[in-house]
């Protein structure tokens, strides 16, 4: 099926368009904290194929709080305007998918900004992690880790890994409803304490 994959999980972003089993556009870039503008600029190169897209795949995170939402919002605007299908893909799954396929135990690592590192442990070929956590440092390195590890140099989420992950999810659970496309955060977003006027309702349980 013709598809467009969007990844703005972290500062390492990509946009991949496949039409008739041919990768007609593939862009990988390191964002300068300007995900929205950069994504639109790269997407403009794919507009001629927009009517041929049958589904959009978007990476859900963990990653940067704002960057994840930008990718999801962009994907939603496409699928709702064109009435096409969508699949949400966990970012840890993409990084670990080759190891999951070979049933090798692995820990996926993602840099989420503000010195926060998210990790997820995969075992026995399962697509859902058995353990997840966050750390304030990134000392993850070596053959037991994958993704945005301490010494990684290549694209941690290349097109083939995203495609393999999408195919796995479509086979096991099918496409998603738009309302089910929700970001996966490394931790709950920090929210300032409510002002006194709102605190009254909170105390009353309203």
The predicted-structure confidence for 66-82, as pLDDT tens digits, reads as follows 999 999 999 999 999 99
What's the pLDDT score for residue 28? 95
Q: What is the mean pLDDT of the chain?
A: 90
Report residue 197's pLDDT band, with 50, 70 and 90 as the boundaries.
very low
Closest CA to 109 of 137, 130, 81: 137
Q: Using the predicted structure, report yes or no on whether residue 128 has a pLDDT greater than 80.
A: yes
What's the pLDDT score for residue 153? 76
Phi-psi category of 158—alpha, beta or left, where left has phi over 0 and alpha has psi -120 to 50? Answer: beta
Q: Using the predicted structure, report yes or no on whether residue 42 has a pLDDT greater than 90.
A: yes
Report residue 174's pLDDT band, with 50, 70 and 90 as the boundaries.
very high
Q: Using the predicted structure, report yes or no on whether residue 41 has a pLDDT greater than 50.
A: yes
Closest CA to 55 of 71, 75, 72, 39: 75
What's the pLDDT score for residue 159? 98
Average pLDDT over residues 29-35: 90
Q: Are 177 and 87 in contact (CB under 8 A)?
A: no
What's the pLDDT score for residue 201? 39
Rounded-to-integer distance, Cα 150 and Cα 190, Å:
26
What's the pLDDT score for residue 188? 56
Report the 10 Å Cβ neighbour count for 91.
28
What's the pLDDT score for residue 200? 40
What's the pLDDT score for residue 151? 77
Rounded-to-integer distance, Cα 163 and Cα 26, Å:
13
Report residue 181 as tokens: 């496309």
Q: Under CATH, to which class is 3-192 assigned?
A: alpha beta
φ and ψ at residue 95, rounded to 5 degrees: -70, -30
What's the pLDDT score for residue 194? 43
Report residue 138's pLDDT band, with 50, 70 and 90 as the boundaries.
confident
pLDDT per residue as tens digits for the range 12-23: 999 999 999 999
Closest CA to 64 of 145, 165, 151, 184: 184
Rounded-to-integer distance, Cα 140 and Cα 18, Å:
33
Average pLDDT over residues 30-49: 91
What's the pLDDT score for residue 115? 85
Instruction: Output the furthest CA–CA distance in the chain (Å, rounded).
Output: 58
């Amino acid at each position: 099926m013709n598809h467009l994959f969007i990844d703005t999980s972290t500062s390492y972003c990509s946009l991949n368009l496949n039409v008739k089993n041919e990768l007609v556009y593939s862009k990988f870039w390191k964002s300068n904290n300007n995900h929205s503008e950069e994504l639109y600029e790269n997407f403009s190169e794919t507009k001629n194929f927009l009517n041929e897209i049958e589904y959009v795949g978007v990476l859900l995170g963990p990653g940067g709080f704002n960057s994840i939402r930008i990718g999801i919002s962009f994907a939603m605007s496409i699928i709702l305007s064109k009435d096409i299908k969508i699949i949400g893909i966990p970012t840890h799954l993409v990084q670990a998918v080759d190891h999951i396929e070979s049933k090798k135990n692995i820990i996926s690592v993602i840099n989420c900004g503000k010195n926060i590192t998210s990790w997820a442990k995969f075992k026995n070929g399962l697509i859902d992690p058995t353990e997840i956590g966050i750390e304030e440092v990134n000392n993850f390195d070596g053959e037991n880790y994958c993704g945005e590890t301490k010494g990684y140099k290549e694209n941690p989420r290349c097109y083939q890994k995203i495609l393999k992950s999408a195919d796995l999810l479509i086979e096991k659970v099918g496409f998603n409803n738009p309302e089910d496309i929700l970001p996966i955060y490394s931790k709950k977003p920090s929210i300032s304490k409510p002002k006194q006027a709102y605190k009254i309702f909170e105390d009353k349980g309203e």
